[in-house]
């Protein structure tokens, strides 16, 4: 069984469960993103919600990327980590006055606005500060991302954004608002998208929409295509970095940008997922009638993706070279859904072995909870242990 490379001797000194981030892989991923996006002059805003560990944020900010935030605290965390406010975008359907004021005070690049009442509140709050808020309108393009229904966001029935039919009246409304400047359109169709055709469909919709908007005599400086590029959860060792080359090429080929128009994107998962693993210790091996369970010290409170959306994570026993056997890998939480996976092929497993739950760098540590009064997992960089 091919496994990831882990500093097991160092792991033995750290209290489990914990997140381990391979900085070399993160850097390699960031190198590729930089190389491929800069070919076309595309602007990358890392989606902070995927992983907001301050050490990870700092590594990404140092490379000159922007940030995509979905709460006031994320805006603050991005600023604290060194992302320039001039590269911060702020999306979300329920931005509160406090969050809007914080973002206005920092003079962020742009608000991605999702509704008319939000537009009105933003205009008022900007007016009382004597500022002009730059905005992109988030459009719901009704594109099916062919991903899990909890993480598809671009269909008409979702709560996000404006429908295409309302665009003209909303644009007219923004023009009558004194403290709003419309600088672009924003799209985000879902997450863990592995079929690039969904992005091609998105490009076609944007092209149509741009023609229409232009026929109204309106010029937009920016097109923001959101995030959503998927990773390979089955083969983290063989495919540790997503195909950013094809991803960026697709937009350059299929999206008809106007002269001087900038393309922005907001990758989250595709940047941080593969560099992270949840390291957990086997507390007990329990033999049932037909099954055996590896009961580990990590649970759904540390990594909720399997319980929340039946997500698959590859699991490796990094302490054992024994014969392959099958185990249900389960956590200690008092919930039946606290199962990382069933019938997992692991090298013969004993109490005390360390397991690596792979591809856990995105929507892992950040979604941890204290249910059952558990300790929140700590995240360690490979360079600091």
Q: Does 68 bind ligand PLP (CB under 6 A)?
A: yes
Give the C-alpha separation, 180 to 174, whole Å: 6
CB of 224 to ligand PLP, least distance (A): 8
Query: What is the per-residue burial (b if ≥16 Cβ within 10 Å, else e) of 255-288?
Result: bebeeeeebbbbbbbbbbbbbbbbbbbbbebeee
From 4, 66, 240, 267, residue interacting with ligand PLP (rule: CB under 6 A): 267
From 16, 29, 191, 201, residue interacting with ligand PLP (rule: CB under 6 A): 191
- Among the listed ranges 17-25, 97-105, 224-232, 349-357, the one in contact with ligand PLP (CB under 6 A) is 224-232
Q: Does 185 bind ligand PLP (CB under 6 A)?
A: no
From 240, 268, 276, 361, residue interacting with ligand PLP (rule: CB under 6 A): 268
Q: How many residues at the interface with ligand PLP, by CB under 6 A?
A: 18
Q: Does 368 bind ligand PLP (CB under 6 A)?
A: no
CB of 227 to ligand PLP, least distance (A): 3
CB of 101 to ligand PLP, least distance (A): 21
Give the C-alpha separation, 144 to 107, whole Å: 34
145-174: which residues touch ligand PLP (CB under 6 A)?
none
From 91, 145, 255, 294, residue interacting with ligand PLP (rule: CB under 6 A): 91
**Beta carbons of 359 and 233 less than 8 angstroms apart:** yes
**Residue 277 bridge partners (DSSP):** 20
> How many CA atoms are closer than 13 Å to the CA of 81, on its beta-carbon side?
29
| Joined tokens for residue 259 | 């002269």
Per-residue x/- mask for ligand PLP, residues 338 to 367, rule CB under 6 A?
A: ------------------------x-----
Indicate the helix (H) or strand (E) that contains 123: helix 116-128
- Other Cβ atoms less than 10 A from the Cβ of 158: the count is 15
Q: Does 226 bind ligand PLP (CB under 6 A)?
A: yes
For residues 306 and 361, which CB has a smaller minimum distance to ligand PLP in the complex?
Answer: 361
Q: Does 266 bind ligand PLP (CB under 6 A)?
A: yes
CB of 208 to ligand PLP, least distance (A): 21
CB of 91 to ligand PLP, least distance (A): 4
28-67: which residues touch ligand PLP (CB under 6 A)?
47, 49-50
Give the C-alpha separation, 250 to 72, whole Å: 32
**Beta carbons of 256 and 208 less than 8 angstroms apart:** no
From 106, 264, 269, 305, residue interacting with ligand PLP (rule: CB under 6 A): 269
For the chain, the distance separating the N- and C-terminal CA atoms, rounded to the nearest angstrom, is: 26
Instruction: Please report the beta strands in 48-164, taking only residues with DSSP state E, as ranges in sequence order.
Output: 66-69, 88-90, 110-113, 133-140, 162-163
Give the C-alpha separation, 57 to 73, whole Å: 13
CB of 114 to ligand PLP, least distance (A): 9
From 66, 72, 161, 228, residue interacting with ligand PLP (rule: CB under 6 A): 228
Return the closest-CA partner of residue 66 out of 95, 27, 28, 37.
37
For residues 278 and 296, which CB has a smaller minimum distance to ligand PLP in the complex?
Answer: 278
Residues that bind ligand PLP in the complex, under the rule CB under 6 A:
47, 49-50, 68, 70, 91, 188, 191, 226-229, 266-270, 362
């Amino acid at each position: 069984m091919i496994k990831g490379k882990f500093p097991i001797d160092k792991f033995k000194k750290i209290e489990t469960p914990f997140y381990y981030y391979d900085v070399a892989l993160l850097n390699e991923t960031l190198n590729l993103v930089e190389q491929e996006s800069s070919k076309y002059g595309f602007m990358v805003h890392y989606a902070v919600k995927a992983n907001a560990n301050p050490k990870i944020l700092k590594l990404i900010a140092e490379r000159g990327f922007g940030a995509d935030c979905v709460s006031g605290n994320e805006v603050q965390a991005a600023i604290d980590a060194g992302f320039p406010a001039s590269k911060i975008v702020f999306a979300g359907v329920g931005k509160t006055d406090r969050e809007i004021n914080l973002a206005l005070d920092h003079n962020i690049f742009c608000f991605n606005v999702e509704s008319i009442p939000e537009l009105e509140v933003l205009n008022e709050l900007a007016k009382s500060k004597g500022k002009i808020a730059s905005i992109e309108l988030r459009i719901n393009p009704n594109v099916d991302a062919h991903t899990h229904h909890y993480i598809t966001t671009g269909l008409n029935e979702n709560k996000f954004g404006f429908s295409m039919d309302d665009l003209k009246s909303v644009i007219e409304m923004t023009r009558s608002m004194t403290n709003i400047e419309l600088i672009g359109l924003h799209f985000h169709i879902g997450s863990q998208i592995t079929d690039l055709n969904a992005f091609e469909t998105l490009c076609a919709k944007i092209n149509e929409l741009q023609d229409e908007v232009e026929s109204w005599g309106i010029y937009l400086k920016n097109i923001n295509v959101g995030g959503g590029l998927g990773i390979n959860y089955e083969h983290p060792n063989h495919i540790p970095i997503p195909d950013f080359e094809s991803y960026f090429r697709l937009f350059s080929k299929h999206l008809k940008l106007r002269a001087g128009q900038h393309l922005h994107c907001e990758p989250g998962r595709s940047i941080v997922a593969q560099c992270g693993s949840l390291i957990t210790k086997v507390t007990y091996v329990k033999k049932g009638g037909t099954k055996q369970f590896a009961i580990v010290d990590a649970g759904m409170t540390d990594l909720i993706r399997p319980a929340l959306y039946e997500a698959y994570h590859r699991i490796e026993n990094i302490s054992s070279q024994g014969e392959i056997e099958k185990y249900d890998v389960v956590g200690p939480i008092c919930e039946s859904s606290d199962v990382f996976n069933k019938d997992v092929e692991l090298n013969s497993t004993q109490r005390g072995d360390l397991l690596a739950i792979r591809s856990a760098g995105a929507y892992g540590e950040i979604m941890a909870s204290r249910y059952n009064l558990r300790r929140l997992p700590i995240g360690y960089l490979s360079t600091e242990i």
